[in-house]
Amino acid sequence: MISISSGNQTTIAHHVSLSGIGVHSGAEVTVRLHPGDIDSGVIFRRVFADGRREDIRAVSSKVVATDLCTVIGSASGATIGTIEHVMAAIAALDVDNIIIEVDGAEMPIMDGSARAFVEAIDEAGIVQLEARRRFIRVRKPVRVEMGGSWGEFLPHGTTRYEVTIDFDSAAIGRQVWAGDVTAGVFRSELARSRTFGFMRDVEKLWAAGFALGASLENAVVVSDDDSVINAEGLRYSDEFVRHKTLDAVGDLALAGAPIIGCFRSYRGGHKLNAIALKALLDDLSAYDIVEAPSAGAQRFRRADLVAVSPSFAPWAH
């Protein structure tokens, strides 16, 4: 069985909102989640102070920056950053169509994890729509390398991640997380893992005008003497690699449809994730587009998936 709970497309049942601060701007941000229509996908709606609104589709072709977080933008120059945590929650909970209205240039960091976004989706509820889900099924290996890092997609019968990090830090070191990412696994093993950084890097970012909203309330911080300085300590002994996996789930959700395959990475990050995803989508022989066998299917096997027209390319719009 593949790790998809239903053959129907989904959206949220009701509007829901949450607020927090942007990790880089330090400014208060309000987010409102709205139900989306069939085949509309994930849309970020940037709301400006003058009341103007601009929609940006959450797809690979809209990525404009990956240095400190994942940022998408429109042709007019409107951008929304730090989208990876909410995208991870949306993808892992199998939400296909949703509008994310944001009154700032970045998503709120909340506690540095995806937990608040999972709770918001749970509060809104998920409903099925009268249309089949579509998937991107990996058909052959695709690999990219970047310095000492690499990422690759492999054919696999589920949505699987195998993420390895390797830091020259006794507090982190080499860690591996591997498993199928289902809604249940995401909730229990990944959603609560927080973003992290080193105090020496945070101080440099502050001096450059970035990470103005970063604090021990929304990030795990490793001190110069190589210890975690957060009073609560770690939520998992390997919280660092779990968060890197969470980020990968969010970044790869920009494929525009769920991926059936295995993503493996070594010493990856937002930039590597984006490059790997682009390499997959650019190679039309590396994947096919499939959909659930019927709109009423409750569970189905990989073999039940039906190939559809290759002209369906949500990431290209």
- For β-strands 220-222 and 196-198, DSSP reports them as parallel
Residue 31: exposed, middle, or buried by beta-carbon count in 10 A (0-12, 13-18, 19+)? buried
Nearest to 254 by CA among 34, 76, 44: 44
CB atoms within 10 A of CB 123: 14
What is the secondary structure of 3-41 as a DSSP string?
A: S-S-SEEEEESS-EEEEEEBTTT--EEEEEEEE--TT--
Phi, psi at 301, each rounded to 5°: -90, 160
Is 15 labeled as ligand-binding?
no
Please state, in angstroms and as integers, the Cα–Cα distance from residue 70 to each residue in 7, 56, 82, 162, 170, following that order: 29, 13, 5, 20, 28
> In whole angstroms, what is the distance from residue 244 CA to residue 113 CA?
11
Active-site option among 14, 34, 156, 270: 270
Q: Is 270 a catalytic residue?
A: yes
Is 243 labeled as ligand-binding?
yes
Cα-trace Rg, the chain:
19
3 contacts: CB under 8 Å, gap ≥ 6: 158, 159, 180, 181, 182
Residues 310, 139 contacting (CB under 8 angstroms): no
AA letter at 169? S
**What are the beta bridge partners of residue 21?**
28
Annotated binding site: 85, 243, 247
Catalytic residues: 270
Annotated binding site for Zn(2+): 85, 243, 247
